[in-house]
Chains A and B, each alone.
Chain A
Amino acid sequence: MIPELGQFALILALLLSIVQGTLPLIGAARGDRALMNLAPAAATGQFVVVLVAFLALMQAYVVSDFSVLNVVQNSHSAKPMLYKISGVWGNHEGSMVLWVLILAGFGWAVGRFGTNLPPTLKARVLAVQGLIALGFLAFILITSNPFERVVPAPLDGRDLNPLLQDPGLAFHPPFLYLGYVGFSIAFSFAAAALIEGRVDPAWARWVRPWTLAAWVSLTLGIALGSWWAYYELGWGGWWFWDPVENASFMPWLAGTALLHSAIVVEKRDALKSWTILLAIVTFSLSLMGTFLVRSGILTSVHAFAVDPARGTFILGLLALATGGALTLYALRAPVLKVGGLFQPLSREGSLVLNNLLLSTACATVLLGTLYPLFLDAVGGDKVSVGAPYFNATFVPIMTPLVIAMTVGPMLAWKRGDLAGALQRLHWVAGIAALAAIATWYAHRGGPVLAVFGMAVAAWAFFGAFAELVERIRLFRIPLPDSLVRAANLPLSAWGLVLGHAGMGVTVAGIVAISAWNNELVVAMQPGQTVRLAGYEFTLDGVRQLPFDAARGRNYEAQIGSVTVREDGAVVATLRPEKRWYPVAQTETTEAGIHAHGFSNVYAALGAQDAATGAWSVRLYQHPLVLLIWGGAAVMSLGGVLSLADRRLRVGAPAKRRVPAHAVPAE
């Protein structure tokens, strides 16, 4: 009964999205208030019914209703509750319902909190949002019905892919989707602005919080996915330039560019047409990411079902949304008035540079990701483009960006003084040089690129604080006065600092693990000790744990005990695991990790040699690796702080609290 209710709710949502996607548009064109006011009501209604459908599906998972095909394929009665719930989106159909739920949630939020939006703009934004929902609801109902029944119902299910039974991955998809789908709001605002033929600073002020929220979620989602790959795959790698990773990384790059160009629209009324284009591109890349991972043309854990009909449908949606928006752009963009002028050497100019570099980097990633598919489609050779390509293209493009990131905020709007900015940055340059010397000394030369990389990281990290130091007049006025000034700064100023500083932190982590990773693959007898990077690793033994569903263990485990010593003193005992999931007939690896400072010692257990009794063990010492995800967390925190800034808050009065010349630098 309840699954049918869910199905019915989805159909209702489809009908509501037709209403939401059409009538408000007509109303906005005719100036008919009644029709325009339908939009928020329809958006609310849609959110409610999609929520009902989502909860109905979740209910089927929680009570293990094996008369529903989707539950049979992706759940099992012995699975812990957390994974029963995360199993709802751990499969194709359920994840699409989550997609639409988030879309509808954003639509509801625009209707609810966008009270000060001009009525026509609001109606049009929600209408575009409704059209996107229409496409995806049709996709679910036609090709991927999550509520399909099986008769007779099997006694038990086939379990969720054990690799996905992990707390990190339970929350990875929702964050990623919040990011992907959040960019739909920027897209809808862009389309609506094109229909209106008007983009102004107020428009950018409405768009920015949504983009920022989406960006924060996407940053966290990508970081969670990377962290999961690091400890669950047992390979000690944190990023593989896998097409599926790239699919989520491209919207992030474009979204980061959008975040920055929207600032120029808001503060200086310039770059409007480019910002609109970026909003369209960012969401299109999100759709493309969905297409790449869902169509099954890529080999990955995400390719749940290889069904050509689904791929074709999403490709059609992508063509319709992107093609439609770009056509609208071509027709209407010339109408947009050109705004403020600026010198190339100015805050605006630096943000243009940021956009150029980010979109170029995004384009090279796109090329590397799609080229093998393209070559295959035209019947050419089968090739793969791996990490060396991306390292050779992406890194040289991002390096100048990270260096320029520190200088940009020091330039004034309209006309900047580069020499002056660099002069005020001399202490940052000093710290960067110190970092380089310290790295050189600590690693007795070390790879030259790593020395340079550490200097760049220090430059970015401390440079992020340079503008703040100026504003609170640190060391130029008494310290308490500086602290008062710091406390009075708008939160978005801190957002800038943390956003940029987080990037520096991540760069430091990436440089360290690329240059000084220590790795050893070895066959060890129990009791044997090996040395790696100044540590002694002793395999104490391996014990067996039986399957015990009652205690939440739906697998058999072999748990190794590896004691790590430094100069004879015990540092940690690692417990790497090998798990066997009998229902899914799959083996997984859980790495044993101990953090000391920001570095990790890491052990993964391989197979036991039947003849000798030795275990193959993979040991790593990863210097500063935690900085990679720590930096992402700091960046996200910066985004959240900016979001909490009163002046950016959705629905905040348009009146500015501070005079224009004191506007924070982002």
Chain B
Amino acid sequence: MTRKKRRLMTLSLAGLGLFTATALALAAFQDNLVFFYSPSDVQAKTLTEAQRFRLGGLVEPGSLAKLPDGISVTFKVTDGAAALPVAYTGILPDLFREGQGVVAEGSLGPDGVFKAKEILAKHDENYMPPEVAEALKKSGHFKPEAQEAKATP
């Protein structure tokens, strides 16, 4: 096999690989991009039940309630301008607190309640997810000192 042929072979193989990868990536992107919305965004948009998205904001103080089964909870996520009720079944992350930032992934139910499949664990309680901070800034309710608030044990 000549050098030229070999090079052609390698190139076409590489091209095929690249093509497959691009096709896979595009198909996967189409289905699996998860958008981030604040409660105000959710109010402004019409979202279907099929759309999975991330909801971010602060857990509204006093809104956390436990359902009788002992492991399901409801709470509200607010960005100051709007609040959205959230339902979740499972154990909340260690750093979940009322008044703190939270990001939940799931979809909107027909009753207008956000069904969270996953509450994202934070690693540091002083930490505010950048998306949440920005959403709060947008709605004009960003208080940097809110991040510093310490929860009592």
Interface residues of chain A, those whose CB is within 8 Å of chain B, are 161, 163, 233-235, 297, 299-301, 338, 341-344, 352-353, 356-357, 360-361, 363-364, 367-368, 371, 381-386, 388-389, 392-393, 396-397, 521-523, 556, 578, 580, 582, 585-589, 604, 606-607, 609, 611-612, 614, 616, 618
A-chain residues with CB within 8 Å of residue B95 when the two chains form the complex: 586-587
B-chain residues with CB within 8 Å of residue A381 when the two chains form the complex: 35-36
For the complex, give the distance between the alpha carbons of A521 and B27 in Å.
33
B-chain residues with CB within 8 Å of residue A338 when the two chains form the complex: 3
**Residue of B whose beta carbon sits closest to that of A586:** B125
- A364–B36 touching, CB < 8 Å: no
**Residue of A whose beta carbon sits closest to that of B69:** A523
- A521–B25 touching, CB < 8 Å: no
- B28–A388 touching, CB < 8 Å: yes
**Residue of A whose beta carbon sits closest to that of B89:** A521
With A360-B21, A383-B36, A386-B32 as contacts: A343 and B1 at CB distance below 8 Å: yes
* Contact of B14 with A by CB under 8 A: yes
For the complex, give the distance between the alpha carbons of A556 and B105 in Å.
31
- A364–B71 touching, CB < 8 Å: no
For the complex, give the distance between the alpha carbons of A367 and B134 in Å.
24
B94 to chain A, nearest CB (A): 4
A-B contact pairs, 28 of them (CB 8 A): A161-B123, A161-B124, A235-B121, A299-B129, A299-B130, A342-B6, A344-B1, A344-B10, A356-B13, A360-B20, A368-B25, A385-B32, A385-B34, A386-B32, A386-B34, A389-B29, A392-B24, A393-B21, A393-B25, A397-B20, A397-B24, A521-B91, A578-B94, A585-B125, A586-B125, A606-B71, A606-B92, A618-B91
A348 to chain B, nearest CB (A): 10
- A607–B34 touching, CB < 8 Å: no
A112 to chain B, nearest CB (A): 39
CB contact list, B91-136 vs A, under 8 A: 91-92, 94-95, 105, 121, 123-125, 127, 129-131, 134
How many chain B residues have a CB neighbour from A under 8 Å? Answer: 46
For the complex, give the distance between the alpha carbons of A301 and B121 in Å.
10
For the complex, give the distance between the alpha carbons of A371 and B28 in Å.
13
- A341–B21 touching, CB < 8 Å: no
**Residue of B whose beta carbon sits closest to that of A521:** B90
**Residue of B whose beta carbon sits closest to that of A391:** B28
A-chain residues with CB within 8 Å of residue B144 when the two chains form the complex: none
* Contact of B66 with A by CB under 8 A: yes
- A383–B13 touching, CB < 8 Å: no
A-chain residues with CB within 8 Å of residue B29 when the two chains form the complex: 371, 385, 389
A-chain residues with CB within 8 Å of residue B129 when the two chains form the complex: 299
B-chain residues with CB within 8 Å of residue A396 when the two chains form the complex: 20, 24
- A383–B21 touching, CB < 8 Å: no
* Contact of B150 with A by CB under 8 A: yes
A311 to chain B, nearest CB (A): 13
- B35–A382 touching, CB < 8 Å: yes
- A384–B124 touching, CB < 8 Å: no
With A585-B125, A616-B91 as contacts: A609 and B66 at CB distance below 8 Å: yes
Q: Pick the 4 closest A-B CB pairs, nearest first.
A: A523-B70, A606-B91, A382-B36, A392-B28
B-chain residues with CB within 8 Å of residue A300 when the two chains form the complex: 123
A272 to chain B, nearest CB (A): 14
Q: Which of A344, A367, A371, A587 contacts B9 (CB 8 A)?
A: A344
Q: How many inter-chain residue pairs (CB < 8 Å) link A and B? A: 128
**Residue of A whose beta carbon sits closest to that of B123:** A301
B-chain residues with CB within 8 Å of residue A578 when the two chains form the complex: 94
* Contact of B31 with A by CB under 8 A: yes
B51 to chain A, nearest CB (A): 12
A385 to chain B, nearest CB (A): 6
Most buried by A among B92, B94, B134, B151: B94
**Residue of B whose beta carbon sits closest to that of A382:** B36
B150 to chain A, nearest CB (A): 5
**Residue of A whose beta carbon sits closest to that of B121:** A233
- B131–A388 touching, CB < 8 Å: no
For the complex, give the distance between the alpha carbons of A338 and B95 in Å.
58
**Residue of B whose beta carbon sits closest to that of A388:** B32
- B151–A585 touching, CB < 8 Å: yes
- A356–B17 touching, CB < 8 Å: yes
For the complex, give the distance between the alpha carbons of A282 and B134 in Å.
34
Q: Which of B1, B34, B66 contacts A341 (CB 8 A)?
A: B1
For the complex, give the distance between the alpha carbons of A609 and B28 in Å.
41
Q: Which of A364, A582, A611 contacts B25 (CB 8 A)?
A: A364
- A384–B17 touching, CB < 8 Å: no
* Contact of B153 with A by CB under 8 A: yes
* Contact of B33 with A by CB under 8 A: yes
For the complex, give the distance between the alpha carbons of A565 and B14 in Å.
54
With A356-B14, A393-B24 as contacts: A612 and B70 at CB distance below 8 Å: yes
A-chain residues with CB within 8 Å of residue B10 when the two chains form the complex: 344, 352
For the complex, give the distance between the alpha carbons of A382 and B132 in Å.
11
* Contact of B54 with A by CB under 8 A: yes
* Contact of B146 with A by CB under 8 A: no
For the complex, give the distance between the alpha carbons of A618 and B17 in Å.
42
For the complex, give the distance between the alpha carbons of A618 and B92 in Å.
11
B-chain residues with CB within 8 Å of residue A609 when the two chains form the complex: 66, 70
B-chain residues with CB within 8 Å of residue A383 when the two chains form the complex: 33-36
For the complex, give the distance between the alpha carbons of A363 and B121 in Å.
28
**Residue of B whose beta carbon sits closest to that of A611:** B66
Given contacts A364-B21, A384-B54, A388-B31, 10 further A-B contacts (CB under 8 A): A382-B35, A384-B36, A389-B25, A393-B21, A396-B24, A521-B71, A521-B91, A589-B94, A604-B91, A616-B70
